[in-house]
Structure 1
Amino acid sequence: MTQWIRRRQGWLIPIVVAVLALTVGMASGGAIASTQAAPADYCADLYPAASTEYERCRFWDDPSLEGITSIDGQAPASNAAYVTPQPVTFCAAETPPVKKTSGKTMISATSCSRPIACTWNTSTGKYHCKDASGTPVNPPGRICAENPNYACAATPQAPDNPAVALTPTRQPVPTVQAHPTQNAQALQQPAAPTANPALPGTGQQAPTPTASMSTSPAPVSPPSTGTAADPNDPAAQAIQQAQALGLHIWLETDLVAIWQAGADQLKAAAARLAQQANQPNVLGVKFATDLGLRGGFTDPAEVRRFVAETSAALRAVLPPGRRLAVDVVVSELGCGQNRQCVDAMHASFPLLKLAEVERYVLTGAVDAVNVTTPLFNPFLDIYKQAGLSADRVLQQQWMALRIRSWDSRVPGLYIGARELGLAHPDNKPALTGPAAETAVKARLDGPLRLGVQHVVLWTWRQNWSGTAWRLNDAGLRANDVWDALRSRKALRRTSIVFNPRETERSVAEDLREIANIASTVYITTQ
């Protein structure tokens, strides 16, 4: 990944220098720059010659096609950041999946036999829905009873029947005023953190938490169903403070255990999240972390049902224009063409196969997908056994994701990266000097150059297995990683996960420091 990034520096240096000179009076573009040459054919090192993947890689390998947009870093309008409502289409009835052949790849496709399209009417201030023939209809399920933002006939056409499918097939398209970020940390506690292998050329280790699959859902307490947000709730305070700082906001949660607890708890959780989302600057709700890895799922169909039903429950009550996001791990993307690695990933994590993950997230049920960098156990051991370095895994994952072109298969889908590897535990120092800069290049600059629209960094501060993990140092003290991130603030492509129940000093002070780095914050709500 380091070589890949270095090959992209020449054209970006003038842009970054100019931008930072205008905004902060200092040209720090050199922080991402290097003049070291790279191999003549990068793609031949990743894919077999003449393969489809190779041809696509060569297309994207043209530096003139790279499109990181650097802007002047001005804060968004904190009092007028509601997202413009975009069309929403629900699938009131699905036809069974069919197998289609595309080249050598088998793609599972699901079609909808009864689509319902809803468009926003500025005169009435509501969504108005029609079926495929253009006849006005009500949205499906309980939406008429629960969401006043939809115009409905006096007698709802869709009964309150759990058998009615509520899978949205095309959701609101992100607007230019919104910069959603994707991803955040797991809310369930893993077994223990473990160190990442040495980053290329640094000689230092970048520690990352170890992820472990949950064998059963955690006990769930019914969420509050009050009609007004509690001003003493830390999440409500954090939303208010983030608004004042001009930060975009995603509500960070994981609803797997709540969904498993039953429809009543899911409905209550959706109502609570709708209250919190009805605020300026709130982009939407991220409702799953590392989808399919945690929560005790045993079958891909169960994961798809969770996504469809949770999406429908949230769509039924969220304010117009708010979006839905999930985090996913697609560990086989990091394998590239290494068959040993791919086969081991498939055998160990069948729910995380690329084909299955695409069936989870390319249905339109979500508007944003954060892809987690898989350099943590249990995946790390498989990469090591296959002889793949961390640098190689990063190269292969982000290039493979770009080649898949998810955003062209679901127009408007926002794709981000979720990065765990820049945080450090209290019992180990953060990376320093050139090692810190190299790590940020590999884990933030690299994904952005390969088409990811935003990078979500875990974490501001979180206690994990008895140890506090953070990006900066205790007591709001900056370190070299933090300084490297600060030099990239003008790109406005960074988000940070923030749990308002785990602060360094206070919600207000912590968020002020986060605003020095990030344009968006993921606020943990439970």
Structure 2
Amino acid sequence: MRRRLRQVLIIGLTLSLLGIGVPAWSEDGDRNCNDLMAADTPAFVVCTWLAKPDEAADIARFWLDDDGQNMIDSGPLDRITIDCQEPGTECPTGGEGDGEMHDIGDPDVPGAEDGGTPECQNGEECYIDPTGVTAAEKSAAKATPAGRAAQAAAQTPMRVWIDTELADDYKAGKLDEAVKKVAALVAAQPGVVGVRFTSQLGYNQTFSTAEELDAFVSQTATALRKVLPGKKLSAHTVVPLFGCGANDACKAAMTEKYPLLDPERIGAWLSKGYIDQLALDDGHLATLYAAWQIDAKEAQRNQWIQVRARAWDAYAQIAAEDATFAGTQLTGEQLTQAISERVAAPLQDAAAQTVTLWTRWQDASGEVNRVYGEKWQASDTWEQLKKLGSIRPRLATLYDPANPEVDPATDLKHLSEVFGQVYLHAA
């Protein structure tokens, strides 16, 4: 799929440079969606529906109907095995390793168990913790709510991220101190994937100028990579301009209202390697574009077309983020439609690689909104989400260990029934 798309882009670019129009097949047919792109979109960018919105709803309904029986019946593919004892079968020998079976988690080097130091040929200490975190700092990090939650999450199949906000620390001149606390938390729990270091970047009122925003991203990313080599860095933001599609009046209004959220600036953060994962929120899609008769469904479609056209996924993993399932009462048909639009649609054609769903949040009045029932009582929404097992690795959620539903171990075990990744909030 990606190879074919790359070939189309190269062919289209060559034609445009030669002054030749794009081929007729890019304009005709009911699967064409070029009308949703801006007028200044390069000629070699072609939009084609793999599954149109109404088809996506039918696809979701097919897999969710009858308690997901079709998904159950599909089953896993048979695993391919080779019997080296079978006559005529040759298996390679002489590869690396000691020829012995080892359990998952066994140390690669004698002496490399947790807390130990690998033995070197001459007896010297050959391992240095790249984080520069001391044993005392690791111990203190483990004792925090986020540290205890990370240990509990490690007992589930979920991949673990640390979710924190470093913008305020940066503005207060305490970035290095805050980064070191994050590094201790990551170092305290082996297997942590990375750090989400900011949310609502450029959308909230933390930064007032583009220069200040760029400085925060570059300096924070540099500081984190220095103490956490190999770990992924994630950021959350919104791009209101994307929801406008080809509506020029809408684009002018969004550019004026949100000057810091310039797609070119955000794209530069990705191309320079500051961010490995970018989460785009869709909370604004339902109401922000009403003046131009653009509903939530169309705004979301416009957004993902723009993301694909810019090939942001060539630089970083793109995630969709949605908080509307929590606290929303939906009928069976509405729930199926919501899953189709908010989960299936962003994943369609790799517009987003993952979808982050908020499962619990508290509003200004103190009311708690949940996807599941209180104290994990059954709910229709939660039961439907549990049926999406085939895309579990692509589903993520956020969890605040300081405000548990029951306790971290219980909560994270339940969350792992739906999600393949979890972001643990660290104050």
SS of equivalent to 1:251: strand
Tell me if 1:301 matches 2:200.
Answer: no
Q: Deviations over 1:164-215 (max 9, x none)?
A: xxxxxxxxxxxxxxxxxxxxxxxxxxxxxxxxxxxxxxxxxxxxxxxxxxxx
Q: Deviations over 1:43-100 (max 9, x none)?
A: 0442479963784213x7489xx9xxx9969xxx995899xxxxxxxxxxxxxxxxxx
TM-score using structure 1 length:
0.58
Alignment of 1:116-265 (within 5 A): 147=131, 226-262=137-173, 265=174
Q: Deviations over 1:92-138 (max 9, x none)?
A: xxxxxxxxxxxxxxxxxxxxxxxxxxxxxxx96689xxxxxxxxxxx
Is 2:323–2:357's contact at 8 Å kept on the other side of the alignment?
A: yes
SS of equivalent to 1:469: strand
Structure 2 match to 1:191: none
Tell which deviates more after alignment, 450-459 or 42-51. Answer: 42-51
Q: Which of the residues 320, 326, 330 maps onto 1:417?
A: 320
**Higher strand share goes to which structure?**
1
Is 1:324–1:366's contact at 8 Å kept on the other side of the alignment?
A: yes
1:475 shift after superposition:
1.8
Q: Which of the residues 394, 400, 412 maps onto 2:300?
A: 394
Letter of the 2:170 counterpart: W
Q: Which of the residues 43, 56, 60 maps onto 2:33?
A: 43
Tell me if 1:525 matches 2:426.
Answer: yes
SS of equivalent to 2:160: strand
Structure 2 match to 1:499: 400
**Higher helix share goes to which structure?**
2
The unaligned stretches of length 5 or more in structure 1 are: 1-38, 83-122, 128-145, 150-224
Tell me if 1:470 matches 2:370.
Answer: yes
Q: Which of the residues 172, 176, 180 maps onto 1:271?
A: 180
1:272 shift after superposition:
1.3
Structure 2 match to 1:433: 332
Distance of 1:325 and 1:498 partners within structure 2:
16
Structure number with bigger Rg: 2
Alignment of 1:264-413 (within 5 A): 265-278=174-187, 279-318=189-228, 320-375=229-284, 380-408=286-314, 410=315, 413=316
Q: Which has the higher contact order (CA 8 A, sep 6+)?
A: 1
Letter of the 2:224 counterpart: L
1:422 shift after superposition:
1.5
1:430 shift after superposition:
2.3
Distance of 1:434 and 1:80 partners within structure 2:
48
1:316 shift after superposition:
1.8
Distance of 1:71 and 1:406 partners within structure 2:
33
Distance of 2:163 and 2:107 partners within structure 1:
19
Identity of aligned residues (%): 29
Distance of 2:385 and 2:241 partners within structure 1:
28
Cα–Cα, structure 1 residues 400 and 353, in superposed 2: closer, same or farther, change >3 Å? Answer: same
Q: Deviations over 1:231-255 (max 9, x none)?
A: 4421111101110112100101111
Cα–Cα, structure 1 residues 478 and 53, in superposed 2: closer, same or farther, change >3 Å? Answer: farther
Is 1:251–1:522's contact at 8 Å kept on the other side of the alignment?
A: yes
Aligned residues: 333
Q: Deviations over 1:313-365 (max 9, x none)?
A: 111212x3211110121111111001121111111110112122223333211
